[in-house]
Chain A
């Protein structure tokens, strides 16, 4: 909530001209009301050689919470903003950017009645932001400011000096120094880049944000090497914000119950930050996996298919394209994943005949579920590794003991292959939520035992390039129910 802008001067061009350029008199302390508190402009130093203007935003934390608490009992549109323990009163966030633009609006436009010609001239500038929240760290800070002609000093602020093992915070002490920029340009840089660096979920977006960005970015944004990142981060918030607000409040509360972050439990869907960094890349392995699964399903002449752990519905989408699959059921435990799948499949706009073929519902393989009985095939693609090992027997029973489809396809990573992933540090699993990753031998042992216990024959197939030494990246097991007539297990299951 604090930053300073300094300049140096000469007898011919006194530094105190800064006061004219900012339209704020150096010998006064002025206060301006803003939506989230009061902004103050003051000058700790003001003489011909050096002049520093400070912008101090007094954020009203309680008002912030109350404001965030829009609709419904205890419900906030953004749970993070509803925290009384909030960095907003201290960090140079998007709130400060909003204050900046309202307090220095003329300066930002490059208008100066007293010294019209100076407004268009570069001047030596030193801008200091002592607590800048910077997602992406000092490195991104440099990548954003250096191309604009700034000399950047960005030092990470430690989280807590008492606990050095906690490492650095997400704040950076930023000093920008430059000789070649106008004050208006400097202000516009800050106006756009403070929110861009700020943590996504604390940011408000108004509907006219595109226009504002175009205006503030005039003259520098189009040529910026990180232009795409800046634009998408700046604008994408409004979507993710409202979605988060709608879909995860119950999980937010359960996370709060445990004093943990909501991301720890609401992680069924990959965080789609929408800033171009995590843009969906073609995932050849995922495609190969789907192709392999489809092949098995076609071979088994399955018409009614369960996708257990359907996630965002990619496989469901693929299945829909083949009329042979007359009933496709996507099941996931994550309501959010299902909501995304539904959007992705455009279920509400789908033709009746197509829509009649597909259903999505919440379910859990930790429980038996009568709705899952009687299908031709079930797919568990990249699912088992998300289940804690001690709870795998429950999944096994729910699928092979209770639902008992004719064919079951299970895919899971082959941990041996991990050495072939150049980007994966040794000993790491491929996904933060993987509770385990199996070797080929471990997978075969598990699948074999499951088949034995429940009366299924098992066949193993590689997915992806089958490396001579470490095998394929994905391993697949195809379970086929043994002839029902001889299937004692089936009768036992029924009797139970």
Chain B
């Protein structure tokens, strides 16, 4: 025994154990595994085979229960590892087969298997067993066999797949040893940046320097202490790989940068180690450029590449950086396949027409909480997809070099000076994993989903709501290609306390004032049916931009669509729709808006009248039915009461009450009748547009409403067909009592004449409050008479009003904001020319949310 060994033994050996790992204790029965585990690990970290035997058989020593016990042990260990929790297995594990199963388990969950061997003399084990009542009759040969098997195993443990093996020999070493928890190399969750994550550089030294400059770095150091993070592929193809390496390595060394390896570093690293690799895909350029460098520098590079960690988990787990993207279950994990995915991504096994592997669209399926920032696949422009973003914007191919500021989520880029390297195939025009024009897939919409929105973060859709939306979308909606938007629901104003009113605009003005919105516009509500119109200049535009009118369509293709709040066409007869679209088209052309807005299509939000056109079924079965029943019942009832009273019998307040009810019912009938008129073809049909939602390349959802209405007014003015109708409006300053009073009076006057009411909107359209949250895009204030249609004929009776005031608006408001954010998202995706499935995902989300349980009268 050397001196040093003696010293260690005395002080106790420190055993490094990774924080996420599967620790396998190896030792004979009685070697002290349970005691060791108890001393060094938390009780919940340890699963013992004896305990599992007890679970399945009520007897910890029942050897016949061993198989079931190990099933349970593996199951529990699997659950813990899947959840990212270190697990210690307390079983003899002296047989290779038992250990192999545990190593497989660790691999399956991409964690390190670690062995701690307790090599204690057989006699000691036997003595200890004899001292335990429950093991007293264990035959000596069992321990003998254990010890024999252990000895035989010792040399093979590393080869079996254990990444760390600690062998403790003798009782004393076992007792003195300590366990030191080590973090994984990829776990940098304690670093909070801020970071500047930089895409694939590929030897574009000049672009890198320009980008670092633009980001504020001075000679590789950021004055505000920011950290650069490179997503790999620093080398190959470009003009100055050594320059790039020199810069990045210096920054990493000084702690100003982090770097993960790309597949190109990996290959070059193998070349540096003398392995035989093909000098393709730009490696030849690197080798040539590096020949001009010193042997010392090449050694540094080799060491640098060798030390790169496949991916990093940063900022409290909110950020994951790697080269080729990483599904959530691999985050922070350590295994060969994690490294392989991080470097190369996943492929479908197929090759495309350029002979390149077809990448598996892992990001489409990504639902993780951490943002994954990566590179590897050149894309024309970096875009978020399910909380992942690819920063490889093809600098070396003449694109740009892009960085992402974190946590700001801002993109910063510099254009490439030139095409440094000809791409094997043209830069795809799609987001990673996306396919322009690929058919919609059920996985885009089905089940529980989370939709990433620019304006309001992640919005989740529940499974049952998606199921209902799927039914309606599939069976009744217009072609999804012509359904790029669905309007959000709108919350009513806070419940009014004004005598006789359930809703009153004073509340709406007050709410906006509170939200910090000074200027609002009151827009008259038309009491038709909400309608969205997609109007293309001609069928050719619809074909080119929206891809309809080809293939199975009959005759001349459609020039757009006109649909309801659930995406259903207003008219079964396509020619009627086309007639309306034609009239809108002419008005748009006459107003000169095609050129002015530089577009050949536009998407309109509007109200289609009369209400009776679409709601006739509901009118007949519900509204008119109530009118008919009350109209038939009251004359008799009143006559009976009057007759009774005439006989001198006291009818109390009953007669007066019935007269009031009869009057209420008559008022109700009048209320719905205002929104009904006969139509014949398009005769009598009117459309009141109030917002141009989007045009080619632009979402206009953020265009202030006064500018919106000015555009709309011109359309209406130039409409020669009598279809279009203007929307009356009044601007109100929420901080000015006089102005607010004028707004209230305007509403009183309008609803007093039977108007439906109005919608109050911030003039600035998309507006946020002080906390940065979206404010309601509109608040409806419905007229007193109109609300009879909603709350019933007698809702204005004081006792009814008192009860109805107990209504709860929060869910409706939250729903309105979520749907609004999804609608905005759909418009942005549409404007940016994103693939259909991306637009459809957001549109479908709106429809699904509409089936959430919320008081339908709000």
Contact = CB atoms under 8 A, between A and B. Distances in A.
B627 A160 contact: yes
Contacts of A66: 803
A87 B789 contact: no
Contacts of A250: 464-465, 467-468, 851
A32 interface: no
B614 A394 contact: no
B622 A257 contact: no
B498 interface: no
Contacts of B353: 495
A259 B439 contact: no
Interface centre among B618, B790, B811 (most CB of A within 10 A): B618
Given A44-B639, A44-B640, A130-B636, A264 B439 contact: no
Contact of A1 (B552, B611, B633, B643): B633
Interface in A23-54: 27-29, 40, 42-46, 52, 54
A165 B619 CA distance: 13
B472 A254 contact: yes
B471 A258 contact: no
Interface in B471-495: 471-476, 478-480, 489
B620 A159 contact: yes
Interface stretch (A71-79, A113-121, A272-280, A342-350): A71-79
B640 A56 contact: yes
Given A130-B633, A131-B630, A253-B850, 14 more contacts: A29-B651, A46-B647, A52-B643, A61-B792, A62-B804, A74-B856, A83-B622, A85-B790, A163-B676, A253-B852, A257-B565, A265-B475, A333-B471, A392-B552
Given A43-B649, A45-B643, A362-B470, A73 B850 contact: no
A281 interface: no
Interface stretch (B245-253, B389-397, B442-450): B442-450
A102 B472 CA distance: 45
18 contacts: A45-B643, A61-B793, A62-B804, A74-B811, A84-B792, A85-B622, A85-B789, A87-B625, A169-B620, A171-B625, A258-B565, A261-B621, A265-B472, A333-B475, A364-B442, A366-B440, A367-B444, A386-B475
Contacts of A368: 439-442
B471 A257 contact: no
A222 B633 CA distance: 32
Q: Which 3 A-B pairs have CB atoms at the shortest separation, nearest pair first? A: A44-B643, A250-B468, A84-B792
Interface residues of A, number: 93
Nearest to A433: B475
Contacts of B663: none
A162 interface: yes
Interface of A: 1-2, 4, 27-29, 40, 42-46, 52, 54, 56, 58, 61-62, 66, 72-75, 82-87, 89-92, 128, 130-131, 133, 157-160, 162-163, 165-166, 169-171, 173, 249-251, 253-254, 256-261, 263-265, 268, 333-335, 362-371, 386-387, 389-394, 396-398, 401-402, 494-496
Contacts of B625: 87, 159, 169-171
A250 B469 CA distance: 8
Q: Which of A58, A87, A367 has the most CB of B within 10 A?
A: A367
A367 B442 contact: yes
A175 B445 CA distance: 56
Contacts of A259: 529, 611, 614-615, 618
A386 B642 CA distance: 56
Contact of A159 (B474, B628, B634, B847): B628
Contacts of B654: 29, 40, 42, 56
Given A169-B624, A366-B480, A333 B474 contact: yes
A333 B445 CA distance: 13
A90 B676 contact: no
A368 B444 CA distance: 10
Interface in B65-88: none
Contacts of A45: 643, 647
Given A4-B636, A250-B851, A333-B471, A43 B647 contact: yes
B665 A90 contact: yes
Contact of B644 (A43, A158, A495): A43
B475 A254 contact: no
Contacts of B440: 366-368, 394
